[in-house]
Amino acid sequence: MAELGSTAFESLLLRIAADYPYIQLIESSKFSWHSRKNSVTYKKSIEDTGEDVLALLHEVGHALLYHKAYTYDFELLQLEIAAWEKARELANHYGNETALNEDYVQDCLDTYRDWLHLRATCPICFARSLQNSSSHYQCFNCRTEWRVSRSRLCRPYRLQT
């Protein structure tokens, strides 16, 4: 059994808790940021892969940037990019540069880009369209309207295939 603070993840957790006492760090089944509760949930993994370090830095990035709900899908992608930029800063500050895997970051952002592309594509004529409310898109080409479900900040990193 690992002692507290014995892995890179655990020592990072302790340092973040000390530096940002106003962010609640809660153990859970996944990594996420909850703006209303000002809390970051994290999942302890058995293997020390470094992905948990990255995921924690990313969620704390959202927290430090005070990310809140958003209206348009493209805003989510911007928030994600900003959270990863903050994660890079934090990684440098805490000495976790080696955990910062750019391929992993780009994979995460790609899942958001794919998701955005899917939602924004007209189901009738396949034109790329604009969102006109948090739950509707309308095709500028054939005028078809379609609904999309409300999306949440911080979806899972990788889409299950």
Taking the complex as a whole, the smallest distance from the CB of residue 39 to Zn ion amounts, in Å, to 14
Binding mask 138-157 for Zn ion (x = CB under 5 A): -x-xx-x---------x---
Residue placing its CB nearer to Zn ion in the complex, 8 or 82: 82
Binding mask 70-109 for Zn ion (x = CB under 5 A): ----------x--x--------------------------
Residue placing its CB nearer to Zn ion in the complex, 12 or 54: 54
Residue 124 lies near Zn ion (rule: CB under 5 A) = yes
# binding residues, Zn ion (CB under 5 A)? 11
Instruction: Reduce the secondary structure of the chain to three states and give it as a string.
Output: CCCCCCCHHHHHHHHHHHHCCCCEEEECCCCEEECCCCEEEECCCCCCCCHHHHHHHHHHHHHHCCCCCCCCHHHHHHHHHHHHHHHHHHHHHHCCHHHCCHHHHHHHHHHHHHHHHHHHECCCCCCECEEEECCEEECCCCCCEEECCCCCCCCCCCCCC
Residues that bind Zn ion in the complex, under the rule CB under 5 A: 80, 83, 122, 124-125, 127, 139, 141-142, 144, 154
